[in-house]
Amino acid sequence: MQTDQTVIDKSPKLKVSLESRPQLSSYRSHALGEFTELDIRKRFFVSSDRVFLPAGTLVGPLTVPALNSKWGLFELRIVGAGPFHLPQLLVASDSDEEQNIPVPLKLISSVGDGSSLFAAPVSVERLSKSLYVIPSLKQCSAEKIETRVTPLTRIQVAKVLMKVTVANPRLLIRSATKHNVGYRFQPWPERFKPGAVVRSVVELASRNFPNPDELRFGVDPDYTLWINGRYETLIPRTRLHQDLQQLPLVAVIDARRVAQMDQPLSATLNALYSAGFSKETIFVIKSDSGPTLSRGNTFSESQVLLRLSELPARTFLLNLRAGDTVSRDVLDLCRQHVSPQTSFVYFDHDHASDDGTLFDYEFKPDNSPNTLIFRNYASRTSMARLSLLFDLIKTLPDLEAAGFEGLMYASAIKASQDAISSSVIHIPVPAIHLMASSSDEMCATSAIERKARDLQLTVYAPELVIEQINEYGGIRWRCKTPPKASVSILIPTKNRIDLVKPAIESILTLTDYKNYEIVIIDNQSDDKETVDYLYGLANEGLAEVKAFDREFNFSKMHNQVIPELNSDYVLLMNNDTEVFDPSWLVRLVELFDLPNIGIVGNKLLYPDGTVQHAGATGGLRGPMAHHLVGRQDKDDHRLLSFPRDVLAVTAACMLMPRHLYLASGGMDESLAISYNDMDLCLSVRVNMGKAVVISSSGGVIHKESKSRGTSFSPEQQESLNKEADYFEAKWEHHIRPDPFYNPNLSLDQDFTLQ
């Protein structure tokens, strides 16, 4: 399969050919010194005489000779298979004004023997700082990395600046404003200092301007450009110096699936070394025939568990597979977010293709206990305190047989369910890059996770049985003992026999759950056919009719009727719905076996089978809106395949305990038409401390507001706007940010990159 695709940029493009780039021949008037080889073997794991460096790896610090001139020509020669896209020199300084400044290097030549030469003029002020090399934007393999610095005169530096300005002034201006095809380079100095400005201009002029027609970024070029622009993949986001207290953290790498001296293990080890992990903090689980590492400790799984039991209980464990890589600033991110009270941490993640380019991102919710039971979103991107792991093993000894992946999933569930403030931390940065898994590996992982989840369900939801339908995350569930709680299905209507009759008859004929009653709230119907039908149902004992003889107010009519009922649950349902799956109600009731559930909403479909409702997101296109609307059911987004926590669901099909409805005070009667259901969800979540879950079982069509219509008079629109303003003012501190909607995602178009 072809994994590379050319970057497509629809904006006007400035074409730059290799021939038009300013040459550095004028640098070579001085005698050049010898190259100094970096001892990469001292810091990185070498396999088959090569070091595999994940994208953005830091190599260094470099040793730079003292110069008598104000400028020096920095040259980098790399021997190996590459690829070496956009290599940079990184200047690390304690100065707030000059810390972590990248100096992009210009390609001078590529030789047939596999070596590439890069160069850039750099001021002595920057050469005197700590220097590192970032050799590639993709994962690369290098056999040798050499550097040298040669003095430059001011005249030579001026020639470089003049050449690039005369040859292509538009290119210089475009890069100066940081619009160079999605790339971000060093900012201008915060304070105007002539020397700093001159350095910035010269380095700007000498950088290796990328031609978008020449660069190839793998299977998802848009994501590559996005992540580089948002998180500055080429530039560490924090200082390089380690003046903060070291985080107690060890990494366990499962290398049992890789051959001796294989590339995936090398890439994982080198990513960890670049991030600041030491040999003593890395444990590799290998098969009997696996490699003996020169850097890292190799053990069996039981030996690793024994070694970990000897470490302080406050130590965190990061569990990876060979081929997974981490961002080089992952430790700094942890230090910023982790507190002594934290027991579990997880990151966003993406996947790395064979060439190391990134794709298939997964941006996750904050702590989401019910979502986690159905889908292990923490995956291999999490860290757990050893105290949490070993407490679990004591409580559920069978978990030890699930291995480290099973233990980590079980610890995620426990930490999530038992969470108090700051004990579970979500770091919304894609700082871990998972190696793409084969179908066999996905099946093996699914079996491990199923074992861990089943053991945890005996603690948190003993009646619930969860089954995975397929390897892509489809889920179904059932209770061991069929639920028998009574349910009142409330359907308000005013006339509209064409809607209410199909709705009621579909319930009567397509509902396996037996212990229910239908309660129709009649809002002043005056159509004879509708009235005859409704009261005919009542006479036959198929439904109860409750009159609401006032102007339409969705909240008030339910607040009037629900206290008069005697059922265990109330199910609010629109008259423009229609049931098509007999298991629709039993699936909703069964979800109340989960701990701490307050409201369960149902996934609803349009008549054409696309999604009408799958939960609501705070701040989406206004105060709150439905997400995933119009998607193809189950096939268009992974979130449609399993139940999950959300801020709110629609009352078009919403189930909750009757006592909870009454205890919460019911619906806010100031919201007569809109946002009343979402207001109730927030009240239950915020004031009652209960979860709101959207079911993936579906089984119901919603024709969406056809009873009232979708066209509003100016007076009605004004009323709706007032209700939106009222709702937003009431809940503004709870709907933005939405804890179940990742901050990397857009609030203009749901589940797209911001």
One-character DSSP codes across 479-512: ESS-----EEEEEEESS-HHHHHHHHHHHHHS--
Rounded to whole angstroms, the Cα distance separating 754 from 745 reads 5
Contact (CB, 8 A) for 132 and 60: yes
CA dist 352 to 34, 233, 270, 570, 742, Å?
Answer: 37, 14, 15, 47, 21
| Sequence letter at residue 378 | A
- How do residues 352-398 score in pLDDT, each as one tens digit? 887 778 888 999 999 999 999 999 999 899 999 999 999 999 999 99
Q: Residue 71: what pLDDT?
A: 86
Of 151-165, 268-282, 345-359, which gets the smallest average pLDDT?
Answer: 151-165
- How do residues 701-750 score in pLDDT, each as one tens digit? 998 753 444 556 777 788 888 999 999 999 999 999 999 999 999 999 99
Q: Residue 15: what pLDDT?
A: 29
Please list the residues that pair with 344 across neighbouring strands.
Answer: 384, 424
Tokens coding 4: 């590379």
Q: Tell me the pairing of strands 358-362 and 464-468.
A: unpaired
Average predicted confidence (pLDDT) for the chain: 83
Check pLDDT > 90 for residue 457.
Answer: yes
- How do residues 67-99 score in pLDDT, each as one tens digit? 888 888 888 889 887 777 767 777 776 665 556
Greater confidence (216 vs 247) lies with: 247
- How do residues 489-517 score in pLDDT, each as one tens digit? 999 999 999 999 999 999 999 999 999 99
> In percent, how much of the chain has pLDDT > 90?
51
Of 61-65, 120-124, 285-289, 528-532, which gets the smallest average pLDDT?
Answer: 285-289
Check pLDDT > 50 for residue 566.
Answer: yes
Confidence band (pLDDT; 50, 70, 90) for 292? low
Contact (CB, 8 A) for 337 and 345: yes
Rounded to whole angstroms, the Cα distance separating 212 from 194 reads 33
Per-domain residue ranges for the chain?
A: 18-218, 249-460, 487-735
> In percent, how much of the chain has pLDDT > 70?
81
Q: Which residues contact 297 (CB under 8 A, 6 or more apart)?
A: 279, 280, 282, 283, 284, 307
Check pLDDT > 60 for residue 424.
Answer: yes
- How do residues 609-647 score in pLDDT, each as one tens digit? 999 999 999 999 999 999 999 998 866 788 999 999 999
Residue 62: CB atoms within 10 A of its CB come to 19
Of 104-113, 227-236, 294-303, 588-597, which gets the smallest average pLDDT?
Answer: 227-236
Peptide bond into 739 cis (omega under 30): no
Rounded to whole angstroms, the Cα distance separating 687 from 665 reads 10
Check pLDDT > 80 for residue 33.
Answer: no
* Angle formed by the axes of helices 403-417 and 386-395, nearest 10°: 100
Q: Residue 24: what pLDDT?
A: 46
Contact (CB, 8 A) for 218 and 5: yes
Task: Break the chain down into helix, strand, coil percent, rounded to 5.
Answer: 30, 25, 40
Check pLDDT > 70 for residue 448.
Answer: yes
Q: Residue 371: what pLDDT?
A: 96
Nearest alpha carbon to residue 647 among 686, 697, 613: 686
- How do residues 683-707 score in pLDDT, each as one tens digit? 999 999 999 999 999 999 998 753 4
The answer for 602, left when phi > 0, alpha when psi is -120 to 50, beta otherwise, is: beta
Nearest alpha carbon to residue 750 among 363, 231, 347: 363
Q: Residue 2: what pLDDT?
A: 32
Rounded to whole angstroms, the Cα distance separating 637 from 375 reads 14
Check pLDDT > 70 for residue 235.
Answer: no
Task: Count CA atoms closer than 13 A to 273's CA, side-chain side.
Answer: 23
Check pLDDT > 70 for residue 175.
Answer: no
Q: Residue 179: what pLDDT?
A: 45
Q: Residue 620: what pLDDT?
A: 95
Check pLDDT > 50 for residue 5.
Answer: no
Q: Residue 244: what pLDDT?
A: 45
Q: Residue 572: what pLDDT?
A: 98
**CATH among 3.90.550.10, 2.70.70.10, 3.10.20.440, 3.40.50.1820 for 249-460:** 3.90.550.10
Q: Residue 207: what pLDDT?
A: 57
Mean pLDDT of 304-316: 93
Nearest alpha carbon to residue 477 among 611, 593, 399: 593
Confidence band (pLDDT; 50, 70, 90) for 465? very high
Greater confidence (56 vs 246) lies with: 56
Helix spans in 98-218 (H): 124-127, 154-167, 169-176, 194-206
Rounded to whole angstroms, the Cα distance separating 670 from 652 reads 19
Please list the residues that pair with 521 across neighbouring strands.
Answer: 492, 546
Q: Which residues contact 548 (CB under 8 A, 6 or more apart)?
A: 492, 521, 522, 523, 524, 556, 557, 560, 561
Superfamily of domain 487-735 in CATH is Spore Coat Polysaccharide Biosynthesis Protein SpsA; Chain A (3.90.550.10)
Of 120-129, 153-162, 334-343, 580-589, which gets the smallest average pLDDT?
Answer: 153-162
Rounded to whole angstroms, the Cα distance separating 611 from 128 reads 59
- Rounded to a whole number of angstroms, the CA Rg of the chain reads 31
Confidence band (pLDDT; 50, 70, 90) for 313? very high
Confidence band (pLDDT; 50, 70, 90) for 595? very high
Mean pLDDT of 403-431: 92
Fold agreement (249-460, 487-735): yes
Q: Residue 98: what pLDDT?
A: 56
